[in-house]
Structure 1
Amino acid sequence: MRAPTSGEFYERWATVYDRVARLPGLRSWRGGAVDALDLAPGDTVVEMGVGTGANVPELRERVGPGGRVVGLDITAEMLRTARRHPERTGAGVDYLRADATRPPVRRVDAVLGAFVAGIFPDPAAAVDAWCDCVVPGGRVALLNFQRSDAVLGAPLNLAFEGFVRLSSPGTRLSGGSHADAFEARVAAARRRLTERTVDRRYETFGGGYLGLVSGTVPDDTG
């Protein structure tokens, strides 16, 4: 039996994903990711793999009425679910159905990738595409789940394997675990962001189970 692609998986589970995305504890973590972008009124920000738009209200608040928020996702049902929430739609908010590894946007002020780096077969190439569409001085931020080094983290680290199996289809390596494959992809995305940016920052949330890496795209013409 053929395993579902990531797009097929999220098409089926968009409603459940939306409920999880709205859990109260996630709001502060999402706020931290938005803070890392250093947005200003009037900016244009793109969220790659926007899902059901849980980050959109925070992004829109930062860019103000003169700014623009673009939510990009390959899954039609995710975007339909996002548009059902009044607080995630309206003036200055656009949703595009497109492949986040080949974003149809150029010269934006910031890019956010929340919980998506681990699902791409070539995450470094995806980060390259994101950096390429950001203007010099703009920022890119990656927020991802990860296993924690906390002393009391062992039981939750075991649960992490099951979580990744459910939420990130297609990330299993031959002879390895879903969690190992997922974290290898996240690490590749973070390395490429480190190579492509300056003024880098790394933060953790939720007892170390979320990691946020961000950086500024430099002006290479100088």
Structure 2
Amino acid sequence: MTDAQSFYGRWARVYDWVANAPGVSSWREQAADSLALAPGDSVVEMGCGTGANVAHLRERVGSPGRVVGIDVTRAMLDRARDRSVRTGKTVHYVQADAARPPVREADAVLATFVAGIFEDPAAAVDAWCDSVVPGGRVALLNFQRSPSALAAPLNLAFEAFVRLSAPGTRLSTQSHASAFERRVRAARERLTARTVDRRYETFAGGYLGLLSGTVQ
């Protein structure tokens, strides 16, 4: 078992509460909207965790569609399966490494709050883009520091959050936050290189960034 599996396995219940906290749902709605899904589409969520996005995705693809959630941590998937709103005939969960997803020819891929945890985020984004059909959409939603001059105190909280949410590191809080941001930036740069019709939005005072694009 990896450090990440052990960490997220222990904290699956708390993670689920945070992932569904008041106010977070609107961000997930906008991430789902960025995929331009239609009834009958298939969509894969990479690093789905406890399935917080599943209801939003299922609503958009309808009963003819398919939602696949991929996560490496069994406890996270078990938690997702315990919630009826995150299950059903159109929803399938797979325990696998989201950086090497065992799926092909999906209509869309969504990855929320995971790009910063991969050692090689650009390779992960390549795998995600390769998982969709030409013309399919890929979207990345990630935390980031806010550029606002008034946000300095909250940026310190961001650094602490990154430290706590990325187990197994021995880096200092500040250097790990920088490493996290480099990984997110690398993921966004690769998605930019692989897609057209891109759209970038920020939420929560600049602390969230949503980048989506169409794979050529």
TM-score, scaled relative to structure 2: 0.96
Distance 1:30 1:18, change over 3 A: same
Please give the secondary structure, in 2, of the residue aligned with 1:190. Answer: helix
Task: Tell me which of 205, 208, 211 is aligned to 2:209.
Answer: 211
Which residue number corresponds to residue 35 of structure 1? Answer: 33
Q: Does 1:16 align with 2:25?
A: no
Q: 1:131 to 1:171 in 2, by over 3 A?
A: farther
Partner of 1:104: 102
Q: Which residue matches 2:161?
A: 163
d(CA) in 2 for partners of 1:170, 1:184: 18
Preserved contact between residue 6 and residue 119 of structure 1 (Cα < 8 Å): no
Counterpart of 2:135?
137
Structure 2 residue aligned with 1:83: 81
Alignment match, 2:148:
150
1:180-199 alignment, distance < 5 Å: 180-199=178-197
Structure 2 gaps of 5+ residues are: none
Distance 2:149 2:26 in 1: 23
Amino acid at match of 2:157: A
AA at the equivalent of 2:143: F
The aligned counterpart of 1:52 is 50
Choose the corresponding residue for 2:71, options 67, 70, 73: 73
User: 1:127 Cα shift?
Assistant: 0.2
Decide whether the 8 Å contact of 1:50 with 1:72 is kept in 2: yes
Judge conservation of contact 2:160–2:173 (CA < 8 Å) in 1: no
- SS of the residue corresponding to residue 177 of structure 1 reads helix
AA aligned to 1:53 is G
One-letter code of the match for 1:209? Y
String of CA shifts for 1:165-217, please: whole Å, max 9, x gaps: 11122466589622101100000000000000001110000000000001000
- The one-letter amino acid of 2:105's match is R
**Identity in percent:** 72
1:90 aligned counterpart, secondary structure: coil
Counterpart of 1:113 in 2: which secondary structure?
strand
TM-score (norm 1): 0.94
Task: Give the conservation status (yes or no) of the 8 Å contact 2:139–2:210.
Answer: yes
Q: Deviations over 1:7-30 (max 9, x none)?
A: 221111100000001101101111
Q: Tell me if structure 1 keeps the 8 A contact 2:159–2:174.
A: no
Counterpart of 1:201 in structure 2 is: 199
| RMSD, matched Cα | 1.4
Unpaired runs of at least 5, structure 1: none
Secondary structure of the corresponding residue to residue 127 of structure 2: helix
Paired amino acid for 2:72: I
Distance 1:203 1:168 in 2: 24
Taking structure 1 as reference, are residues 171 and 124 closer, same or farther at Cα in structure 2, changes over 3 Å only?
farther
| Equivalent residue letter for 2:53 | N
**Deviation of 1:151 (Å):** 2.2
* Structure 2 CA distance for partners of 1:85 and 1:173, relative to 1, 3 Å: same
